Structure 1
Amino acid sequence: MSSYPPLTRADVLSFQFSSWYPVFSALSMKSTVIRPLDPQFRAYLEADGVHVPKGSEDVPVESTLPDENEEIDDCDEETGEDYAFPELDSQIRAAVKAYGAVFPKLNFSSPKDASWLLPSSSPLKCTTPADVYLLLKSSDFITHDLSADSVFEGCTDAQTASSESYELELVLRKWYAMDRSREMRCFVHDGALLGISQRDDNYYDFLNDPATQSKIATSVHAYWLTQIHPKWTATASYTFDILLTRDLARFHILDFNPYAPRTDTLLFTPEELLVPAGPVPLLRVIDSPAHPAATRNAPAHQHNMVPFEAFSLSNGRGVEEFREAWQEELQKGVVHDDEDEEGRS
C-alpha cells in the first residue's frame, strides 16, 4: 500500500509560498512576494551561463555607449544574454531596505545549494539585487519551479485540462542567522502529526538529552494543534518545516511541503510515517557523530553546488585565488554587453 495520498494540481498550488503565507504570516518571518514577474525573468533564469543583469549591482557601472539616450532592448535577440530588470531591482532594494537583508526563493524552492557563493558566515544573505540573481542563477534546486511539468509531476490531473494555472513568483524573506540545530521537519498524515525530524545533518549533543527530546515532541505537538491544525485546510497530509524558539516551547514556520515522494523524509522512512506511535509524535535526531546521515567534512549539496563555469576557473587555483577569479568573472557579466554594444557601434 502506498504511503502517499494522491495530489491534484490544486493541492500542489496550496503549498506555494503565496498561498500559505497570508494565513500563517504571524508565525513566520516577514516576507515580500513579487508577482507577476517579467516574462523575461524566467528566460534569464533558464538561460545558459552565470551573469547578473545590468544595473543590479549597487556599484554603478559606467556606460561605454556613445549615446546615453539611445534606447536599449532588455534582451539581446541574438545572444539572449543581455538582461536588465530595473523595476524588479527597485523592488528587491526596497525589501533590503525594509528588512536589512533578504534571502530569496521561488514558489516552492530556495537556492540553498548555491549558498557557498556568499560568505559562509551569512549564507544566503542578500543585500543587492545582484546577490539575489546570482544565487538563483547558480542553483539547481530552483529549476524545479521554472516548469509547470515538474511542479505538477505526479498529480492525478497533471495531463488533463485544468483551471489551476501556475505563475512564477519571487519571494524575499527577512534574513536571520538561524540556529540550524533548532530546525525540524514535521510530518502530518491524514490529519495527525506523526513524526518530527532534525533537518540539519550534524550531531548535536543537547538534542540527545531525553528531557529535551520529550519537551520538543510535546511542545511541537501542542503548538501544532492550536496554531496550524485549525488553519491548514488544503490537504489532510502535509509536511512543514519549523525553527524552534530558544526555549523549545514554540516555533516559527519556515515552509510547507506536500506529503509526497518529492519531499525528503529525512531520518524517517515513508512506512514509519503511516501509523501514530502514541499521544505525541516520534522525534528523530542524529544520535551519534558516527550516524550514517551525519555530516563529516563534506559540504552540504556538494554534488550539485558548483556551476559549470567554476570548474574551469578553479583549475590550479587556491581558495582565495578562485574566489577573486569568480568575482572578476561575475563583474565581466555585468559589463560585457556594454562592451559588445560599443564594438558593434
Structure 2
Amino acid sequence: MPSADAFSIFPSISPSYVLLFQFSSWYSIFSRHSINSTIIRPLSVEFREYLDADSVFVPEGSENTPVESSLSDDEDNLGNDDSDDDSEQKQYAFPELDQRIRDCITKYEAVFPKLNFSSPKDASWILPSSSPLKCTSPADVYMLLKSSDFVSHDLDENRVFEGCGYESNDASDYELELVLRKWYSVDRGREIRCFVRSNLLLGISQRDTNYYEFWNHEETQEKIVSAVRLFWEQNIKSRWVGQTDYTFDFLFTRDLSKGHILDFNPYMPKTDPLLFTYDDLRDLFQAAQLAHDTESTLPLIRPTLRVVDSPTHPLAAKNAPAHQHNMIPYEAAHLSDGRNIEEFADLWKQSVKGSVRSPSDIAD
C-alpha cells in the first residue's frame, strides 16, 4: 500500500523542476507538434529595465511608421524648466531587437509574443478585437508586454520560483527570453488542458469556460478523450524529460482528430486546474495508483473529461471576456470615462505612441 505522502495534492517542486516549463526548455523537443516559434535571447539589461519601468510607452523607432510627438517645442521647454516635473521619462530604443522582431513578422506574417512562461493574454484589449493579440510591428509586441500584468510574473525570480526551496543553484540559470509565435486566429472553444501526474494522464478540462454545445455530445467526448490519449501516448509520454508531473495545453484541429501543443505548465497551485480542483486530481491519481497495485501491469487509465455542461454551469464564464478582472491597467482608467472598449483602445494606443509621458499625465 502506498504511503499517504504518495497521494499528496502536489508533487515536490524545485527550481530545476520549474525551469522545465520555460518555453526554451520544451520547445526544441516538441516543436514538430507545436506552433512555429522563434526564441530571442539573450535580452539586454536595458530591455528588462524597460519592461519593469512605470507606465506604458513604446521605445523609439519601434513603429513601422514614424510618430510625431504630441508635445510642441514650447511644451517641451516648459517641462524642462520645472525641476519638480516627474514626466521626464527615460527613453529606450532597441534597434537590433526591433529588427529581429521585424524579421519574424516577415517570416510568420504576424506574431504573438510571450516571455519564458507567461503570455500577455490579459492585454488583448490593446489591439483590434477583430484580430486579438496579432502583432505586425515591434511596437505592437512592446505594447502587449507593457500592458500585461501576467508577464510581470516572469520578471520577478521570487515569483517564478515561488514555493521552491533555494537549496540548489538552479535558479541562477534563469534567463529572460522573448518568444515570438506565429499568429493564428484561434478558436478557443477547441482548447483543452491536460493533467499528468507520475506519468499518468489523469484529467482533461475544457480550457475556455464558456458553454459550447458540441462539447456535450457523447460521441464528441469519446472522440476527444481517445484523440488526446493517443496523442499523449505517441508524442509526449516517452519524450518528456525530467520529473513526470506536468500539465499541457492542446489545441484541436477543426475535425477534433489531432492538434497542436500550445504550452506546458508545472503541476502546482499557480497553474489553473479549470474545471477540476487539485483535490479532484489527487483522488483520480490515488485511484489510478491503487489500480496499478492490483494489476500485474500498469492499467490503461481512461482520463476523466470535464466540460461546461450547461450555460448556467457555476464555473461558466457566460460569454464574459477572459481575464476581464485585469484587462485594463489602473493608469488607463483616466482615459476610459464615457467610451466603449473600441474607442478606448484606440485612444490608449494613440496616447502610448504619441508621447513618452504616461497616459495619466496626458489625461491630466
TM-score for both structures, normalised by structure 1: 0.89
**Would you say 1:2 and 2:2 are equivalent positions?**
no
Shift in CA distance, 37/190, structure 1 to aligned 2, threshold 3 Å: same
What stretches of structure 1 of length at least 5 have no aligned partner? 67-77, 338-345
CA distance in 2, matches of 1:319, 1:175: 23
Correspondence for 1:192 among 200, 204, 219: 200
Aligned length: 325
Structure 2: distance between partners of 1:302 and 1:201: 13
Aligned residue among 300, 307, 326 for 2:348: 326
Aligned to 1:41: 47
**Cα separation, partners in 2 of 1:318 and 1:27, compared to 1, 3 Å:** closer
From the superposition, tell whether residues 247 and 39 of structure 1 become closer, same or farther in structure 2 (CA, over 3 Å): same
Closer, same or farther: CA 237–332 of 1 in aligned 2, 3 Å: same
- How far the C-alpha of 1:162 sits from its partner, in A, is 4.3
Deviation (angstroms), 1:158: 2.4
Deviations along 1:92-112, one digit per CA (max 9) or x if unpaired, are 000000001000000000000
Please give the alpha-carbon distance, in whole angstroms, between the structure 2 residues aligned to 1:320 and 1:218: 41
Kindly indicate whether the alpha-carbon contact (under 8 Å) linking 2:161 and 2:171 is maintained by their aligned counterparts in 1: no
1:74 alignment counterpart: none
> Displacement, 1:122?
1.2
Deviation at 1:245, TM superposition (A): 1.8
SS for the counterpart of 1:240 is strand
CA distance in 2, matches of 1:252, 1:319: 32
Identity of aligned residues (%): 59
1:308 to 322, 330, 342: 330
Residue 81 of structure 1 aligns to which amino acid in structure 2? K
Report if the CA contact (8 A) 2:67-2:353 is conserved.
Answer: no
Q: Gaps spanning 5+ residues in structure 2: where?
A: 1-6, 74-86, 289-299, 359-364
Displacement of 1:321 in angstroms is: 4.1
Mapping for residues 133-144 of structure 1, pairs under 5 Å:
133-144=142-153
Structure 1 residue 262 and structure 2 residue 262: aligned? no
Corresponding position of 2:321: 299
- Choose which of 95, 107, 110 in structure 1 pairs with 2:116: 107
Cα 1:45–1:218 shift into 2, 3 Å: same
Is the partner of 1:141 in helix, strand or coil? coil
The separation in 2 between residues aligned to 1:178 and 1:89, in whole angstroms, is 26
Deviations along 1:301-326, whole A, 9 cap, x unmatched? 11111112221111233445434432
Residue 95 of structure 2 corresponds to 86
2:307 equivalent in structure 1: 285
C-alpha change, 1:323 and 1:140, in structure 2 (3 Å) is closer
Judged with a 3 Å threshold, the aligned counterparts in structure 2 of structure 1 residues 160 and 27 are, in CA distance, closer, same or farther, namely: closer
TM-score (norm 2): 0.84
Do 2:246 and 2:267's aligned partners in 1 also have CA atoms closer than 8 Å?
yes
Q: Which deviates the most, 184-193 or 299-308?
A: 299-308
Q: Determine the C-alpha separation between the residues in 2 that align with 1:36 and 1:238.
A: 27
How much has 1:116 moved relative to structure 2? 1.0
C-alpha distance in 1, partners of 2:150/2:95? 25
Q: Distance in 2 between matches of 1:219 and 1:319?
A: 39
Tell me if structure 1 keeps the 8 A contact 2:200–2:301: no
